[in-house]
Amino acid sequence: MDESLEQKIKDAIANPKNMGELADADRMGTVGNSDCGEMLRLWVKFKEEHGRKVIDQASFQSFGCETAIAVASMATELIRGKTAEEALALRHDELTGDLGALPPMKIHCAQLVEGALKSALTSDESKVGAEPENIPSLMDSLNKNAQPAQGRLRMLKKEN
């Protein structure tokens, strides 16, 4: 990975945006990568603006690598103010925002974010119902779906 990208990722994870569960979210998507054992969950909340339903806020939680966290931080900022259709039109290489292009071995990290966004915005199961407390935590989902290598598990909480 080139030095400037490495520095951008370091900067992004030093002050990640929109990390943690989003209260009152309308949609939620969770995806995992079976190859590397990373998981990422993304929450989306909509609002009405000038007669359009646009994304008001988005947040994420990740048991992911630093690149996935950095991309999720960028992507959750990028999609604000966009309609679901506009957000879905963004490809993984656009969701990286200021990070720019990722090296080939890190592209799947951005695809993880893209997958969580697509899941949140398109899957019927992604609607957060009246009892969000019944949604399994990302940790529970992780334990069911993946066995990450020891020492790579990371729990991120939202900081305001």
Which DSSP letter does residue 64 get?
Answer: -
Q: Site for ligand FES (CB under 6 A): which residue of 28, 31, 58, 65? A: 65
Regarding 61 and contact with ligand FES (CB under 6 A), the answer is no
Which DSSP letter does residue 16 get?
Answer: -
What does 84-111 look like in DSSP terms, one character per residue?
HHHHHT--HHHHTGGG-PPPGGGHHHHH
Catalytic (active site) residue 65: no
Contacting range for ligand FES; rule: CB under 6 A; set: 22-30, 108-116, 123-131, 142-150:
108-116
Q: Which helix (H) or strand (E) holds 28?
A: strand 27-32
**Minimal distance, residue 38 CB to ligand FES, in Å:** 4
Which DSSP letter does residue 127 get?
Answer: B
Considering the complex, state which of residue 54 and residue 107 has its C-beta at the smaller distance from ligand FES. 107
Q: Which of 21, 36, 88, 132 is catalytic?
A: 36
Regarding 109 and contact with ligand FES (CB under 6 A), the answer is yes
Q: Site for ligand FES (CB under 6 A): which residue of 17, 20, 36, 154? A: 36
Please give the sequence-ordered ranges of beta strands (E in DSSP) within the chain, or none if there are none. Answer: 27-32, 39-49, 52-63
Considering the complex, state which of residue 27 and residue 108 has its C-beta at the smaller distance from ligand FES. 108
Question: Encoding tokens for residue 77?
Answer: 């900022």
Which residues are 45's β-sheet partners? 57
Considering the complex, state which of residue 130 and residue 149 has its C-beta at the smaller distance from ligand FES. 149
Question: Encoding tokens for residue 78?
Answer: 């990028």
Q: Return residues touching ligand FES (CB under 6 A).
A: 33, 36, 38, 64-65, 67-68, 108-109, 112
Catalytic residues: 36, 109
